[in-house]
Amino acid sequence: MKAKDDKTAPPPLPEPLRVAVADAHTHLDMQAGTVEEALAKAASVGVTRLVQVGCDLAGSRWAAETAGAYEPVLATVALHPNEAPRLVHGDPDGWSRQGERPAGGEAALDEALAEIDRLAALPQVVGVGETGLDYFRTGPEGKDAQERSFRAHIEIAKRHDRTLVIHDREAHDDVLRVLKEEGAPARTVFHCYSGDAEMAEICAREGYYLSFAGNVTFKNAQNLRDALAVAPLDLVLVETDAPFLTPAPYRGRPNAPYLIPVTLRAMAGVRNLAEEDMAEALARNTERAFGVPGLFEG
Ligand SMILES: [Zn+2]
Ligand SMILES: [Zn+2]
């Protein structure tokens, strides 16, 4: 038996969806295999579009290039909330684990933001993100740089009329506060939604989208299912955040866009909807959330 190998092997292909949807948030550059392979595998189960999310300068450039080269791919560009303090303070244990990097101070952050601003203007770039606040990975010494970066990303998103993609980890109150202070862009997505039902109601009032990842299937994540149950259906999205957050029963194995049907089916169960109705709603929501009507035609 190869039990040990099996636990790290890619999960099997789920049964195909009959209504095509998108993976609203993925990181192909952190997954094994080629872009072509990932797109073909996803399309074979009805995941025909995906949003490739940038987390640092190199990743954002790559996202824009990849969206330019592959029709099914849309791009978002940003400095991840854990990347901003790294640029300023040179934290070696930051987001992408590229090793030690010299501290560049505020000027390094400003320079990087100018490049994000330039990339955000490209036609294949539909969003600015993932940005936001992360108090899990970044300690108090990085908070100022993180919040300054978040505010700058909000401004860039609004100026280019791009969707704001938010990463909010253990920072719900401050993320909501900064959004209110700056004024949120017309389209704002909470990626890997991690709040409870009460916060879902706040998001609903503000018109923010709630994007659910594979962790909505986890046994200990009743708070996420409660949030999904009360969220307005027209503000709900589905994403993988792959290679992270592989849905049950495949936790611990590599995640990829082709596993969207697993999470989508769990979400349909929470909402008491037929799979096709859930998929139809998610497809329309993705078009609206990223300002790309007709995404699933032709
Ligand atoms: Zn994130
Ligand atoms: Zn992500």
Q: Is the bond into 243 cis (omega within 30 degrees of 0)? A: yes
Question: Residue 159 C-alpha to ligand 1 middle, in angstroms?
Answer: 23
Instruction: Judge whether residue 137 has pLDDT over 50.
Output: yes
pLDDT value for 79 = 98
Question: Residue 6 C-alpha to ligand 1 middle, in angstroms?
Answer: 27
Nearest bound ligand to the CA of residue 26: 2
Q: Report residues near ion ligand 1: CB below 5 Å.
A: 130, 167
pLDDT value for 94 = 47
Question: Residue 133 C-alpha to ligand 1 middle, in angstroms?
Answer: 10
Instruction: Judge whether residue 289 has pLDDT over 70.
Output: yes
pTM for this prediction:
0.94
Nearest bound ligand to the CA of residue 134: 1
CA–CA distance, 65 with 56 (Å, rounded to integer): 14
Nearest bound ligand to the CA of residue 241: 2
Instruction: Judge whether residue 266 has pLDDT over 70.
Output: yes
CA–CA distance, 182 with 218 (Å, rounded to integer): 34
pLDDT value for 75 = 98
**Is residue 99 packed enough to be buried (19+ CB in 10 Å), middle (13-18) or exposed (0-12)?**
exposed
Tokens of 162: 């791009």
Nearest bound ligand to the CA of residue 137: 1
Question: Residue 53 C-alpha to ligand 2 middle, in angstroms?
Answer: 6
Q: Percentage of the chain with pLDDT > 70? A: 94
Q: How far is CA 107 from CA 76, 130, 147, in A?
A: 23, 21, 16
pLDDT value for 4 = 52
Token pair 């008491």 is found at 272
Q: Percentage of the chain with pLDDT > 90? A: 89
How does strand 209-212 pair with strand 236-238? Answer: parallel
Question: Residue 277 C-alpha to ligand 2 middle, in angstroms?
Answer: 26
- pLDDT tens profile 231-251: 999 999 999 999 999 999 999
- Band (297; pLDDT cuts 50, 70, 90): confident
Question: Residue 25 C-alpha to ligand 2 middle, in angstroms?
Answer: 6
Nearest bound ligand to the CA of residue 76: 2
Three-state DSSP state, 211:
strand
Token pair 């190199």 is found at 58
- Band (264; pLDDT cuts 50, 70, 90): very high
First to last CA, the chain: 45
Q: Find, among 130, 149, 179, the residue nearest to 85 by Cα.
A: 149
The answer to whether 221 touches 215, Cβ cutoff 8 Å, is: yes
pLDDT value for 1 = 46
- pLDDT tens profile 138-173: 888 899 999 999 999 999 999 999 999 999 999 999
Question: Residue 192 C-alpha to ligand 1 middle, in angstroms?
Answer: 7
Which of 60-69, 175-184, 264-273, 289-298 shows the lowest per-residue confidence on average (mean pLDDT)?
289-298
What are the E-state strand segments in 159-256? Answer: 163-169, 188-191, 209-212, 236-238
Q: How far is CA 242 from CA 10, 58, 175, 261, in A?
A: 12, 18, 23, 14
Token pair 């948030």 is found at 25
The answer to whether 26 touches 238, Cβ cutoff 8 Å, is: no
Instruction: Judge whether residue 229 has pLDDT over 50.
Output: yes
The answer to whether 236 touches 210, Cβ cutoff 8 Å, is: yes
- Band (194; pLDDT cuts 50, 70, 90): very high
Question: Residue 57 C-alpha to ligand 1 middle, in angstroms?
Answer: 16
pLDDT, mean over the chain:
94
Nearest bound ligand to the CA of residue 190: 1
Question: Residue 133 C-alpha to ligand 2 middle, in angstroms?
Answer: 13
Strand partners, 255: none
Question: Residue 52 C-alpha to ligand 1 middle, in angstroms?
Answer: 12
Instruction: Judge whether residue 27 has pLDDT over 80.
Output: yes
pLDDT value for 99 = 53
